[in-house]
Amino acid sequence: MQGKTALVTGAAGGIGEAVVRALASRGVRVAAVDLNADRLREAAKAAVEDGLDVTAFPADVTLSTEVDEVVAEVESALGPIDYLVNAAGVLRMGPARSLSDEEWAVTFAVNTTGVFFMSRAVVNRMVARESGALVTVASNAAGTARAEMSAYAASKAAATMFTKCLGLEIAKYGIRANLVAPGSTDTPMLTSMWEDDSHARVSIEGNPETFRVGIPLGKLAQPQDVADAVVFLLSDEASHITMHDLTVDGGAALGV
């Protein structure tokens, strides 16, 4: 992976930031993209101070013109994009019948439409070069019903099938498209759901009232666990893997 160029969305924190660092530590030039410009620049600055080749490119993945512009900017500054990681995501909780129009729309704008816009912009350039690989960070909720997570689960399910269909279409160009589906991961997105620290125990042990079976491995994932799976699927070690959905949830979805 040494000397390659990657674009990672959702790079200002959580799984996205872990992916940025995991790729950069392997000698990849990383374009870090996120809507939160201040936090993104802080994360990129910290990475550079650690000797990593990371550049911040603030952008809103829900705006197609902005996505096209930032992709062109990245390739102009860093060179052709070899790897794309769609890690930007938002979570809006609540009963399905009580979600507002805005909550539903924002969830799909980032989690699904953002994946479409960024994948389209980058993959069209990859096709011309007949080279590249991408990973979309989805969720085990895309295939396992979760109470009060209907918008999130539906948006991740849509992003999952989009990525697989895209992978089928671009396989003839030698371009691979895969997915990583995390479960409960120790990130700000997860802790935003908690009222206190006891919720970590509930996530691990399960909750019969909401039909959650818990995590068989007995621990939350760390962002690095997910980042390692992303890096594997991008790497040459996964050169014959495409349209695959790799679940990283400690067994929470029972292997389904």
Each residue's pLDDT, cut to its tens digit, for the chain (256 residues) gives 999 999 999 999 999 999 999 999 999 999 999 999 999 999 999 999 999 999 999 999 999 999 999 999 999 999 999 999 999 999 999 999 999 999 999 999 999 999 999 999 999 999 999 999 999 999 999 999 999 999 999 999 999 999 999 999 999 999 999 999 999 999 977 777 656 666 677 789 998 988 989 999 999 999 999 999 999 999 999 999 999 999 999 999 999 8
Rounded CA-CA distance 191/100 in Å is: 22
How many other C-beta atoms can be found within 10 angstroms of the C-beta atom of residue 246?
18
83 is catalytic: no
User: Running DSSP on this structure, what letter comes out for residue 222?
Assistant: P
Which of these is catalytic: 108, 117, 152, 162?
A: 152
The structural domains of the chain, ordered by start, are: 5-187+222-248 (3.40.50.720)
Closest CA to 106 of 37, 60, 148: 60
Sign of CA dihedral 23, 24, 30, 36: positive
- The reported pTM is 0.95
